[in-house]
């Protein structure tokens, strides 16, 4: 281990990521055998691999391995949220079976296109929620507003058939509603940060 401590950074990185890879594969195989649905089979192996890298980065020999791990919580939260919301959306719409049927030669329908768009916006909601909950980067509120507007338009269209007959099959309104709920985490974080910055600014003025 003394030789590892004196080794170049590239060798220490290789050793650390080799250990993390062994742990990842060791847990990936049981996850696959258990038949965890969707992307959930990746969550536990990735969490364990990041835990190995984090633990190594706390030692003197592998301290520099910790560079870049600050985004690990965000990736895990996003992957978990995306896996869960996609499973939930599939339970409402049967999207996976319909996509499989389309790949098998079934005709493309407006309902399928709208459900794919709704699922994509739901994943975007998981992305923004993960950013708000686990990322230290500043939120791009302009982008959040854009996706919120898209979800609101989709929600209005999903509710429209109750008043207007003859429209193409609309997505389940719960899906764009869930996307809006996920994105609301960004507004909560933005409000907290804005209030904190205003308080700090007020203290600075008082000192002057």
What pLDDT, in 10s, does the model give residues 149-166? 999 999 998 888 766 766
Residue 9 burial by Cβ neighbours in a 10 Å radius (0-12, 13-18, 19+) = exposed
Which of 10, 34, 67 is the last residue in one of the domains?
67
| H-helix segments, the chain | 2-6, 9-34, 40-57, 72-93, 95-103, 110-134, 141-159, 174-207
Q: Do 63 and 94 reside in the same domain of the chain?
A: no
Token couple for 22: 């062994």
Q: Do 51 and 1 reside in the same domain of the chain?
A: yes
Q: Do 60 and 79 reside in the same domain of the chain?
A: no
Which of 29, 47, 67 is the last residue in one of the domains?
67
Confidence band of 1 (pLDDT split at 50, 70, 90): very low
Higher-pLDDT residue of 108, 203: 108
Q: Do 118 and 192 reside in the same domain of the chain?
A: yes
The answer, yes or no, to whether residue 3 has pLDDT greater than 60, is no
Domain range for 12: 1-67
Q: Do 112 and 57 reside in the same domain of the chain?
A: no
Work out the number of other CB atoms within 10 angstroms of the CB of residue 52.
18
- Residue 69, classed as helix, strand or coil, is helix
pTM of this structure? 0.77
């Amino acid at each position: 281990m003394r030789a590892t401590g004196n080794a170049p950074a590239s060798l220490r990185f290789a050793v650390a990521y080799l250990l993390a890879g062994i742990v990842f594969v060791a847990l990936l195989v049981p996850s696959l055998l258990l038949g965890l649905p969707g992307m959930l089979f990746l969550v536990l192996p990735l969490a364990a691999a990041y835990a190995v890298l984090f633990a190594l980065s706390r030692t003197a020999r592998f301290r520099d391995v910790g560079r870049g791990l600050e985004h690990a919580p965000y990736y895990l939260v996003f992957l978990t949220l995306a896996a869960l919301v996609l499973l939930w959306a599939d339970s409402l719409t049967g999207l996976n079976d319909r996509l499989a049927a389309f790949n098998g030669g079934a005709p493309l329908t407006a309902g399928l296109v709208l459900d794919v768009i709704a699922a994509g916006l739901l994943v975007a909601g998981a992305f923004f929620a993960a950013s708000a909950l686990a990322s230290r980067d500043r939120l791009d509120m302009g982008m959040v507003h854009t996706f919120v507007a898209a979800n609101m338009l989709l929600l209005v269209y999903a509710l429209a058939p109750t008043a207007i007959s003859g429209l193409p099959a609309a997505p389940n309104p719960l899906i764009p509603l869930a996307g809006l709920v996920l994105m609301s985490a960004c507004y909560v974080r933005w409000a907290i940060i804005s209030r904190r910055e205003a308080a700090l600014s007020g203290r600075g003025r008082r000192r002057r």
